[in-house]
A = this chain, B = another copy of it.
Amino acid sequence: MSGETVTVGEAARLTGVSAKMIRWYEARGLLPPAARSAAGYRHYGEIEIRALHFVRRARDLGFDVEAIAGLLALWSDRDRPSAAVKAIAQARIVELRRRIAALEGMARSLEHLADACCGDDRPDCPILDDLSAGLGERAPREKRTPP
């Protein structure tokens, strides 16, 4: 019979999506409203559990809510063109690569600065010098306007 249904907490345990998040996804329209018991408890069957797994996996891949909603819609459409799915994935890849590049730039800058900083008891620090650079003079140690 496959009539076994579980509550949110159980669904959370099964899928790795917290009960809070399950309710939140539902409220945001990402998931359809769950079936309710007479007392108002949400109940989830195998298909819903599968959808939650899907959401979890997509979330792990860095998709945001909108994208996941789109993927879910395509997932449940048996006639979807695979091109539509691929487009979403590729947009996500572009975004990921963009963010990676940004973080990489930061990391490299910082590594460069940290390498130049001897890191001892003395106050001379290229890191702070760099952070305060770009205006006029560098350090705030000269508190008064330089000549």
Query: Which residues on A are within 8 Å of B, measured CB to CB?
Result: 2, 13-16, 46-47, 49-51, 53-54, 57-58, 60-62, 71, 74-83, 85-87, 89-90, 92-93, 96-97, 99-100, 103-104, 106-107, 109-111, 113-114, 117-125, 127-128, 130-135, 139-143, 145
Beta-carbon contact of A14 and B75 below 8 Å: no
Smallest CB–CB gap between A33 and chain B, Å?
Answer: 18
Q: Which residue of B lies closest to A122 (CB)?
A: B82
With beta carbons under 8 angstroms apart, the residue of B97, B109, B110, B125 that contacts A107 is B97
How many chain copies does the complex carry?
2
A120 to B51, CA, bound (A): 24
A59 to B58, CA, bound (A): 29
Beta-carbon contact of B50 and A86 below 8 Å: no
Please provide the 8 A-B residue pairs with the shortest distance between their CB atoms, ordered closest to farther: A86-B119, A82-B125, A96-B107, A62-B106, A83-B119, A2-B145, A81-B121, A86-B117
